[in-house]
Amino acid sequence: MKKILHISKYYYPFSGGTEQIARDCVLALKGGYSQKVIAFNDGKEDKVDIVDGVEVIKCGCFTKIAAQSLSTSYGKQLHRVMKEFDPDIVVFHYPNPFVASLLLREMKNTKAKLVVYWHLDIVRQKYLKLLFNPQNRSLLARADKVIATSPNYIEGSKWLQSVKDKCVVVPNCINVERMTITPDIEKRATKIREENKDKTICVAVGRHTEYKGFTYLIQASKLIDDRFRIYITGTGELTEKLHEEARGDNKITFTGRIDDTELKALILASDVFCFPSISKNEAFGLALAEGMYYEKPAVTFTIPGSGVNYVSLNRVTGIEVENRNVEKYADAMQTLAQNKELCLKYGKAGKERVKNNFLSTQFSININTVINSL
């Protein structure tokens, strides 16, 4: 049985998009391969967990610099697992530049195949990304396969364009079981609808950070009338600033962090799913796919090189407008509010798109196809 080592920044139960995809990979390959995972611990100590029957080595993190975790033990632990486990295949989730430097050193002494799972380019750290250019070239040169989450990202990334012949698209996935509507969720959704009778309910989901674009949704809200009710979930470094921007706008409700039942009920009760992300930092849009699975038409911005406009198709599953254009965003929201038949049409098309492309069953087939080809 072939052996696979997965390298993720963090790992379940740590909550994050990359971490969820890393776990999805492991689960998709379970049974056909012997697997181990190495990642950072969100504490300072090294530890070993067993997750889904797979050993997960977690290296203590003593600090973070520019969102990069650092560890004094990672190099030693990676060297040990590479030597003792001796993987046939390494699946490395990028970006993770500190670990990439350690991995490149280890890969010189092994014949293991390397799969680089390219989640996104380093965009925000302008100077650091220049520092990591030589490392990226080495990493992609060593890679046997490079996984991208959408064809849009391949086209929009200079790095993926440089190794286009190695690239394969594996769209992110949602777990259908997690999306199940329980009686409690349905009951809560009904109450939300009753509380907002005759209102067009809009929901936006995500961390309060710049690339999520919530400031543009708040600006768009100022251009529409009181027939709308907009729920913005989550928290983040911009929460206070967003609250200040929305002051006096009674159409907007900030929910803060909410549990899964409340989140699903909000989406289920909604008429429109607002996804105002503005940059390639939003590489795919898993929350967008979840909203579409519940048959909600989406309103998105055009983001060159992002998978957002691959997940939701303009005038098929929702309305896409010029990036950061709040007037057009508001117009799109009003168009959907005034045309229930169009909402139903886009909603049904959205669910079909998710069912055909972005479910865990298809993801499993895609990942196994990539790994089996090595």
Could you report the per-residue pLDDT of 41-76, keeping only the tens digit for each? 988 899 999 999 999 999 998 877 766 777 889 999
First to last CA, the chain: 14
Q: pLDDT value at position 123?
A: 66
Task: Give the per-residue pLDDT at 297.
Answer: 98
DSSP characters over 19-88: HHHHHHHHHHHBTTBEEEEEEE-SSSS-EEEEETTEEEEEE---EEETTEEE-SSHHHHHHHHHHHT--S
Please state the separation of Cα 30 from the chain's center in Å: 22
Distance CA 372, CA 365 (A): 10
The residues near 319 (Cβ < 8 Å, ≥ 6 apart) are 297, 298, 299, 300, 332, 335, 336, 346
Q: What is the pLDDT of residue 132?
A: 77
Would you state the torsion angle of the CA atoms of residues 89, 95, 101, 104, taken in this order, to the nearest 10 degrees? 30
Q: Which helix (H) or strand (E) holds 318?
A: strand 318-321
Output the pLDDT for position 302: 98
Please classify residue 26 by burial: count the beta carbons closer than 10 Å to its beta carbon, then call 0-12 exposed, 13-18 middle and 19+ buried.
Answer: buried
Taking the C-alpha atoms of residue 153 and residue 325, their distance in angstroms, rounded to an integer, is 22
- Contact between 48 and 55 under an 8 Å Cβ cutoff? The reply is yes
Cα–Cα distance measured from residue 203 to residue 160, given in angstroms and rounded to the nearest whole number: 33
Largest CA distance in the chain: 66
Cβ-based neighbours of 345, under 8 Å, separated by 6 or more = none
CATH entry 3.40.50.2000 includes domain 177-357:
yes
DSSP conformational letter for 93: E
Residues in the chain where the model's pLDDT stays below 70: 66-67, 123-131
Single-letter amino acid code for the residue at 32: G
Note the pLDDT of residue 43: 87
Give yes or no for a contact between 146 and 176, defined as CB atoms under 8 angstroms apart: no
Residues 190, 184: Cα–Cα separation, whole Å: 10
Strand arrangement of the beta sheet that strand 200-204 belongs to: 252-256, 228-233, 200-204, 272-275, 298-301, 318-321
Which part of the chain is CATH 3.40.50.2000? 3-173+359-372, 177-357
3-173+359-372 CATH fold: Rossmann fold (3.40.50)
Q: What is the pLDDT of residues 128-170, one digit of tens each?
A: 556 678 999 999 999 999 999 999 999 999 999 999 999 999 9
